[in-house]
Structure 1
Amino acid sequence: MKRTHLPLNGLRVLDAAARHLSFTRAADELAVTPAAVGQQIRALEDMLGVVLFRRTPKGLELTDEAGAGLDALRSGFLQFEEAVRAMQQGQSSFRLTIAVPRDFAAKWLHHRLIGYAADNPDIRYTLVSGDSDIDFTEANLDCAIRLGDGPGDLEGAMIGPQRFVTVAAPGYAGDARISWPGCSSDQTADCEGTDTGTVMQVADAGLGIDAAIAGFGSVSAPWLLAERDIAEGRLVALGEARPARRAFWIVAPTPQWRQKKVKALVAALTQP
């Protein structure tokens, strides 16, 4: 019989009924009705062409045909359990491969992961550079972090507030601006003053924040990237943080998203 044709549900019912010699107790174990157990056994008997149980005055009794296969059946189920444990053990190893923008890693993720790693000392990370165009298959990724207006066609959860803020070094009184690709002229909904007074163009918001700290001017950036430098006095906010269209999202295809190790990471990164 081909593996794809193995009646696994019926064999599982047979194992339970043989151990209990009772359809009722087998039904309790499997959380189904006794009638469902009887139907599975009859279907299995029809498929195999043998009788598996007989009713006697003393109760349910296994036939010789059923008894002949029980040892191999139970050995097979034990091997299934070992296979499941092995796969779960591999999943619980906390080997995570994450695609993440360089500035997000430097300005926020590393600091958050320190605490997470302290609570999970066996954790191992592989961080690869990545932004919006991620090929999960080629990169063998568990998840990715990106700046955008939603998860797109992936599973996802938003990290931190959906806000941008304009910042500069303490005491800076000029009107020079620092721009980065995420605050270009077509992103004015999130940013301020992207078309005028630009004295420096940089590759990402993190470099823009560093340039602002050095005194080159002001920059509009995601609040999540600027908040630590603001809190520690290297930057000041020029006005209130404002609602934005984009935020940082942790995303993954559905199979990766269902992994326990990814769920745990998502919970750690999205908590306040």
Structure 2
Amino acid sequence: MKRTHLPLNALRVFDAAARHLSFTRAADELAVTPAAVGQQIRALEDVLGVVLFRRTSKGLELTPEGEAGLDPLREGFLSFEESVAAMQAGQSSDRYTIAVPREFFAEWFAPRLARFQADTPKGSGGIQYILSADEHADFTEANLDLAIRLVDGPGELEGIPLAPAMRVTVAAPQHRDAWIDWPGAPLPDGTKPCVKAGSPGQALASALAGMGRTVLPLALAESAIDRGALEVLDGPEPALRGYWLLAPRPQWRSRKVRALVGFLTAA
């Protein structure tokens, strides 16, 4: 019989019925009806071409053919359990590999990650984070669990927004009357910036240093606004791009990814 044609569900029913020597008790264990157990056993007997049980005055008994296959079957189920445990070991581990922009990590993500770490039961070594500053790193090559990117949507990946897509014009309390630009910043037409930054993080640092005003994602600037390091000059207002937590679809089935995502979305 080809491996792909193995009647695994019927074999599971056979194992339960053989342990209990009762279709009724096997049905209770499997949360099905005794009739369903009987159907599975008859179907398995048809596939194998043997009789597995016989009814006697003392109750249900295994036939010699049934007994002959029982120990190897149980060894096989044990191997299945070991295989599943091995596959789950990496997914249930306390190690996360995350690609995240440096500035967003410092201003928004790190404080939440610290709370997640404090609220999560610690294993033998606690939670370990492996961080990549290249949020556009390839998931496979970098062996990423998750990435955080400033985008207008998840694209081909699966994702959730970490904060509403809002933008705000900000500057330090004592700042030059000039503009700080970065790729994607919606500055007024005709503006000649004093600083052309390469990222919103560099624009944030320039604004904090008092070099001028700039337009930033609210999620990035909010912490500095709250502590008085930046003042709001305009906004908040809706923006096209926001910070998204992204991963390929299979990653979202991971237990550890679901735990972190659940924490971030509930916080």
Settle same-fold status: TM greater than 0.5.
Answer: yes
Shift of 1:192: 4.0
C-alpha displacement at 1:134, in angstroms? 4.6
Task: Find the residue that maps to 1:126 and give its secondary structure.
Answer: strand
Return the alpha-carbon distance in structure 1 between the equivalents of residues 76 and 159 of structure 2. 38
**Deviation of the 1:194 alpha carbon:** 6.1
Number of equivalences: 263
Deviations 1:39-79 (A, max 9, x none): 22122112222100112233222111101221221222123
Structure 2 gap segments, 5+ residues each? none
Name the structure 1 match of 2:132: 128
CA RMSD of aligned residues (A): 1.9
For residue 180 of structure 1, what is the aligned residue in structure 2? 182
The one of 151, 160, 164 equivalent to 2:154 is 151
Residue 83 of structure 1 corresponds to which residue in structure 2?
83
Q: How does 1:181-200 map to 2 (within 5 A)?
A: 181-183=183-185, 191-193=186-188, 195-200=190-195
Superposed CA offset, 1:114-149 (max 9, x none): 222223341111112334x55322322111111112
Q: Partner amino acid for 1:224?
A: A
Write the distance in 2 (CA, Å) between the matches of 1:202 and 1:106. 18
Matched, 1:259 2:254: yes
Does 1:30 pair with 2:23?
A: no
For the residue of structure 2 that corresponds to 1:238, the secondary structure is: strand
Give the corresponding residue for 1:188: none
CA 1:198–1:26: 2 relative to 1, 3 Å: same
SS at match of 2:194: strand
1:236 equivalent to 2:248? Answer no
Give the structure 2 partner of residue 101 of structure 1. 101
**CA–CA distance in 1 between the matches of 2:65 and 2:20?**
17
Contact between 1:175 and 1:197, CA under 8 Å: does it hold in 2? no
Task: Give, as a single letter, the amino acid of the residue that structure 2 aligns with 1:130.
Answer: D
SS in structure 2 at match of 1:182: coil
Aligned to 1:58: 58
Q: Deviations over 1:144-183 (max 9, x none)?
A: 11111222222211102221111100133x5311011131
Q: Distance in 1 between matches of 2:189 and 2:54?
A: 83
Q: Tell me which amino acid in the other structure corresponds to 1:239.
A: D
Looking at structure 2, the residues matched to 195 and 210 of structure 1 have their Cα atoms a distance apart, in angstroms, of: 23
Q: CA deviation at 1:95?
A: 1.3
- Percent identical pairs in the alignment equals 61
Contact 1:179 1:194 survives alignment (8 Å):
no
SS in 1 for 2:174: coil
Aligned residue for 2:15?
Answer: 15
1:240 alignment partner AA:
G
C-alpha spacing 1:74/1:38, structure 2 compared with 1 (3 Å): same
1:247 and 1:155 map into 2 onto residues whose CA distance is 15
Report if aligned partners of 1:143, 1:257 keep a CA contact under 8 Å in 2: no
Could you tell me how far apart the structure 1 residues matched to 2:246 and 2:190 are? 32
Measured at CA, do residues 34 and 226 of structure 1 come closer, stay the same or move farther in structure 2, by a change above 3 Å?
same
- 1:225 matched residue in structure 2: 220
Cα distance in structure 1, aligned partners of 2:249 and 2:43: 35
Point out the more displaced range, 83-92 or 240-249.
Answer: 83-92
CA distance in 2, matches of 1:179, 1:192: 7
CA deviation after TM superposition for structure 1 residue 201, in Å: 0.6
Distance in 2 (CA, whole Å) between partners of 1:41 and 1:109 is 55
